[in-house]
Amino acid sequence: MTTMQTPNGFNLDTSGQRVVVDPVTRIEGHMRCEVNVDENNMIRNAVSTGTMWRGLEVILKGRDPRDAWAFTQRICGVCTGTHALTSVRAVEDALGIDIPENANSIRNIMQLSLQVHDHLVHFYHLHALDWVNPVNALKADPKATSELQQAVSPHHPMSSPGYFRDVQNRLKKFVESGQLGPFKNGYWTNPAYLLPPEADLMAVTHYLEALDFQKEIMTTRTIFGGKDTHPNWLVGGVPCAINIDGDLAAGAPINMDRLNYVSGVIDRAMAFVKNVYIPDIIAIGKFYKGWLYGGGLSGKSVLAYGDIPDRANDYSASNLMMPRGAVINGNLKEVHEVDLRDPEQIQEFVPHSWYSYPDEKKGLHPWDGITEPNYVLGPNAKGTSTNIAEIDEAAKYSWIKAPRWRGNAMEVGPLARYVVGYASGHEHITEQINRTLRALDVPVDALFSTLGRTAARALECEWAAEMQRYFMDKLIANIKAGDSSTANTEKFDPKTWPTEVKGVGFTEAPRGALAHWVRIKDTKIDNYQCVVPTTWNGSPRDNEGNIGAFEASLMNTYMERPEEPVEILRTLHSFDPCLACSTHVMGPDGEEMAEIKVR
Amino acid sequence: MAQDCAGSHTSTGCASVTDAPNVLVLGIGNLLWADEGFGVRAVEELHARYEFPENVRVMDGGTQGIYLVQYIREADILIVFDAVDYGLPPATMKLVEGDEVPKFLGAKKISLHQTGFQEVLAMAEMMGDYPAHLLLIGVQPVELEDYGGSLRPQVKAQIAPAIDAALEFLAGHGIAATPRAEPLCEDFTIASQEMALSRYEAGRPDAGEACRHGDERVIAGQGWQGPLDFEAEITEILGKPKAGV
């Protein structure tokens, strides 16, 4: 059988030429993608495989739940803080620990700072090259580039013809040296690239500016987290002390000077997003607004857990400044409530995943989750178990489990959050979306696309940058009112804990809804399950045959040249996939599976 | 960027000039994958045993990729500890210098720092801030797939020679390390306190004895400290001009 319809409404046809991309580059972690294209170069079947096994659940067993955050933030390199925050929230939920208001504000600032940082770096350094052609930028006229820059963003100071000429010369030198570095593995002659040279040069210039600017954003997390790259977190609050009137003596706690420093960083981040990131999205979007592939599940089924509690310790939807809810069957008129504790809502399935359950027809709620690897290839797979030539998606085919919300495959991430927010009438989200649609002169349906996903990330970055200011003001006001408490250590001592408890913590990670479920028994971790954003988006088929968000997004996309899968990369990158935490690097027989080949 | 000072927004822009080269000693890798943790464990040990002059920064780069680029850009001398797949017998240590370094860091991405350290180096180069001297101290892993495991004994045994190699290289550039009278206790690790070697390996820490960061005893007893020199720390994060610039 070469054709079938999935319950979630996609017509799969496996008769055409099979294209394999392994690994998908410019993402964190390892991922493989196979598609079938018909005689008109349209993708008619898509298969996404996480090629690594993740055993975090297994290694946390028996450890101190107060340490879990440190392990989870070492899973990979990009969303370290968000895993740590999710983890401490899960443990606090289990043990009934309330955190002080200041801790809530500081956590929110750190989480928002991560959103800003991650979105910015993702767009410019991992995703922009799917739209922007650095080789074409060499043909640009610096004067025309300068005019373009001033037209799209009159307030951005770096816009002189000389400046663009300098960057172009630097780029030229770099390209001529033969080592394209970050620009290698590109398909720079592919007609899928649509920007004129001036727009390419402007965007490449901002690639460099963003690379320089992003380091400043990190200082916020360094100041509150005490350590950069992998900041410190604490069950019960935040591990930093505050003395607002303290001097700058050695070892002094956080004082007004440091808070003012963070304020300055927030201002500059807001300006960068406003004057560079957003105008770039609009400028690039104008050239690509005819390329509205990649919608996938975004117009059908989206999920957000919500995040950024306004007041501390209240995780109800009305107190969350990033929206919570689920939209299914494309019905934007109804936003369903989401309950992470309800065993009927979130379940993980494994009939197409390399894991074993006692009964694989059923899904398991994460509190009852099982992580038992079972690597077997289907009868129609080609190649060997250590060197797969073609996957058999009718059997088990991914290290990612298939999470479902009430049986539905869901998309998570910035676009999902914005669709949920739009559907539930969130003021700032509605305003931002309408403004962007107007600027691009496109209908609301354009939102449900690869471009929409990329634009939603930029809008969220803009919102997150501004929202830091809100919590900064709140923090300072609260401290000035006499409250300098940052941690609640009442229940820090395991002797105060019940014998057996369970909890769930959630955040909106930059790339989507993230939750950790923990069971604590005799003061140690008894079971720990993470359902991460890329588990949702990268999920394989489930027992009903529903395809996941990555797979759905690739369907019915036209490929200019199937042997140069720029369209596949463009759409997959728009999700900001992070396979490192959705799976873990272990091939069968200990063989590292990563190798670069495009068949 | 191109206009370094204009774009950097720092109060201590390009004014101060110093002759001492900026040195970055960086350990990269993932502690959770057995020998993949070699780089981080090596800098952890280096920091525990030696003190360095101010121009030397010893850093746990962990699993970070792009976020490390600013530290690379600041460095005149860069030493990287990492688990590297050289295709050599397990636990073999091999030093690579200069232009050869990126080849080995990108040859086969065995690390989860998937952005690829090679790419991070290329980004630094593109920004016009490539270190003048590079040394990669790599060890061929014995075991990677033991998730949650620690360094294998053969790889752990290479930490001491790896540190010696780094010190010798630094000495060649006129930079001297001072041995500490007593190695720092694990609680002062520059890497992850919660995952300090003995605690990580024992797996079930005795909370009564283990002094832990964030513990109420730490907070109450001023165990948490703000930066000793805030300005200097921020300046360091934001980059300082290279020697002779």
The position carrying tokens 């020697």 is B243
What pTM, to 2 d.p., does this model score?
Answer: 0.84
Structure tokens belonging to residue B194: 């919660």
**Residue A565: predicted pLDDT:** 87
Please check the confidence at residue A252 and state whether its pLDDT lies above 50: yes
B208 pLDDT band (50/70/90 cuts)? very low
Quick check: A394 and A381 in contact, CB under 8 A?
no
| Residue B65 to chain A, least CA–CA distance (Å) | 6
Q: What confidence category does residue A375 fall into, taking pLDDT thresholds of 50, 70 and 90?
A: confident
Give the separation between CA A408 and CA A336, rounded to whole angstroms.
13
Please check whether residue B136 lies inside any domain of the structure: yes
**What span, in angstroms and rounded, lies between the C-alpha atoms of A583 and A362?**
21
Residues of B in contact with A252 (CB under 8 A): 226
Average pLDDT over residues A282-295: 96
pLDDT confidence of residue A592: 32
pLDDT at B233: 55
Question: Which residue in A54, A216, A232 is closest to B9 by CB distance?
Answer: A216
Instruction: Say yes or no: do domains A1-96+295-440+490-599 and A98-293+449-488 share a fold.
Output: yes
The amino acid at residue A132 is V
Residue B120 is part of which domain span?
4-13+21-238
Which residues of chain A neighbour B239 with C-beta distances below 8 Å? 215
The beta-carbon neighbor of A250 closest among B69, B109, B228 is B228
Give the lowest-confidence range in A127-136, A179-188, A558-567.
A179-188
Mean pLDDT in chain B? 74
**Which amino acid makes up residue A327?**
V
- Asked if A22 contacts A33 with a C-beta cutoff of 8 angstroms, the reply is yes
CA distance B172 to chain A (A): 30
CA A290, distance to chain mean position in Å, is 25
What DSSP line would sit under A472-530, residue for residue?
HHHHHHHHHTT----B--TT-SGGGS-SEEEEEEEEEETTEEEEEEEEEETTEEEEEEE
Q: Kindly list the residues from chain A whose CB atom is less than 8 angstroms away from the CB atom of residue B14.
A: none
Least confident piece of the model among A491-505, B22-36, B161-175: B22-36
Closest partner residue to A586 (CB to CB) among B60, B65, B145 is: B145
- What is the amino acid identity at position A64? D
pLDDT for the residue numbered B31: 82
A271 compared with A81, residue with greater pLDDT: A271
> Residue A422: pLDDT band by 50, 70, 90 thresholds?
very high
CA distance A391 to A401: 16
Read off the pLDDT of each residue in A78-88 and give the average, rounded to a whole number.
84
- What is the rounded average pLDDT of the residues A528-549? 93
Cβ proximity of A535 and A400 under 8 Å: yes
Q: Which one-letter DSSP state was computed for residue A341?
A: T
Looking at residue A71, its pLDDT comes to 81
What does the pLDDT read at residue B228?
A: 52
Mean pLDDT of chain A: 89
Do the chains contact at B66 and A121, CB–CB below 8 Å? yes
CB contact at 8 A, A518 and A503: yes
Strand runs (DSSP E) across A277-383, as ranges? Answer: 302-304, 307-309, 320-322, 325-327, 346-349, 382-383
Residue whose C-alpha is closest to residue A537's, from A352, A298, A328 = A298
- A197-207, pLDDT tens digit by residue? 999 999 999 99
Does residue B116 belong to any structural domain of this protein? Answer: yes
Confidence (pLDDT) at B239: 56
Residue B244 forms part of a structural domain: no
pLDDT of A554-566, one tens digit each?
A: 999 999 998 888 8
CATH number of A98-293+449-488: 1.10.645.10
pLDDT attached to residue A589:
27
Q: What is the CATH number of the domain that holds B153?
A: 3.40.50.1450
Question: Which pLDDT belongs to residue B18?
Answer: 58
**Chain B partners within 8 Å of A268 (Cβ):** 9
A327 — phi, psi (to 5°)?
-115, 130
Overall number of domains in chain B:
1
Res A12: pLDDT: 96
CA distance A108 to A322: 11
Q: Please, are residues A59 and A524 in contact by the beta-carbon 8 Å criterion? A: no
The average pLDDT across A457-475 equals 97
- β-partners of residue A507 are A514
| Pairwise CA distance, residues A184 & A171, whole Å | 13
Q: Output phi, psi for A434, to 5 deg.
A: -60, -40
Is the CB of B7 less than 8 angstroms away from the CB of A257?
no
Higher-confidence residue of A586 and B53: namely: B53
Residues making up chain A, counted from first to last: 599
Set of chain A residues whose Cβ sits within 8 Å of the Cβ of B101: none
In the numeric block, the tokens 């959705």 are attached to A582
Within chain B, strands assigned E span 23-28, 50-51, 56-62, 77-83, 93-97, 133-139, 178-179
Mean pLDDT, rounded, for B223-237: 52
Nearest residue of chain A to residue B71 (CA atoms): A215
Cα–Cα distance between A514 and A518 in angstroms, integer? 13
Look at A211 and B66 and tell me if their CB atoms are within 8 Å: yes
The whole-angstrom separation of Cα A198 and Cα A143 is: 9
In this prediction, residue B67 carries a pLDDT of: 80
- CA–CA separation, A394 vs A403, rounded Å? 18
Q: Which of B2, B63, B70 sits opposite A77 (nearest CB)?
A: B63
Mean pLDDT of the region A339-366: 95
* Facing residue for B234 by CB, picked from A125, A261, A586: A261
- Using omega within 30 degrees of 0 as the cis cutoff, is the peptide bond preceding B241 cis? no
- Region of A323 (left: φ > 0; alpha: ψ -120 to 50; beta: rest) is beta
Q: Which of A247-256, B80-89, B114-123 has the lowest mean pLDDT?
A: A247-256
CATH superfamily to which A1-96+295-440+490-599 belongs: Cytochrome-c3 Hydrogenase, chain B (1.10.645.10)
B243 belongs to a structural domain = no
How confident is residue A372, by pLDDT bands cut at 50, 70 and 90? confident
% of chain A residues with pLDDT over 70: 89
Where are the domains positioned within chain A?
1-96+295-440+490-599, 98-293+449-488
A358, A479, A457: which is closest to A122 by C-alpha? Answer: A457
Taking the CA of residue B25 and the nearest CA in chain A, the distance in Å comes to 15
Which is more confidently placed, A74 or B207? Answer: A74
| pLDDT score for B119 | 77
Q: Interface pTM (ipTM) of the complex?
A: 0.70
CA distances (Å), origin A237, targets A217, A292, A470, B27, B212 = 22, 44, 19, 29, 15
Chain B nearest C-alpha distance from A4 (Å): 36
Chain A residues with beta carbon closer than 8 angstroms to that of B30:
74, 76
Question: Which chain A residue has its CA at the smallest distance from B208's CA?
Answer: A493
Kindly indicate the confidence band of residue B97, based on its pLDDT and cuts at 50, 70 and 90. very high
Question: What local confidence, expressed as pLDDT, does residue B68 receive?
Answer: 86
pLDDT of residue A75: 64
**A386-389, long-range: CB < 8 A, 24+ apart:** A386/A587, A386/A588, A386/A589, A386/A591, A386/A593, A388/A32, A389/A20, A389/A599
Stretch A72-88: mean pLDDT: 77
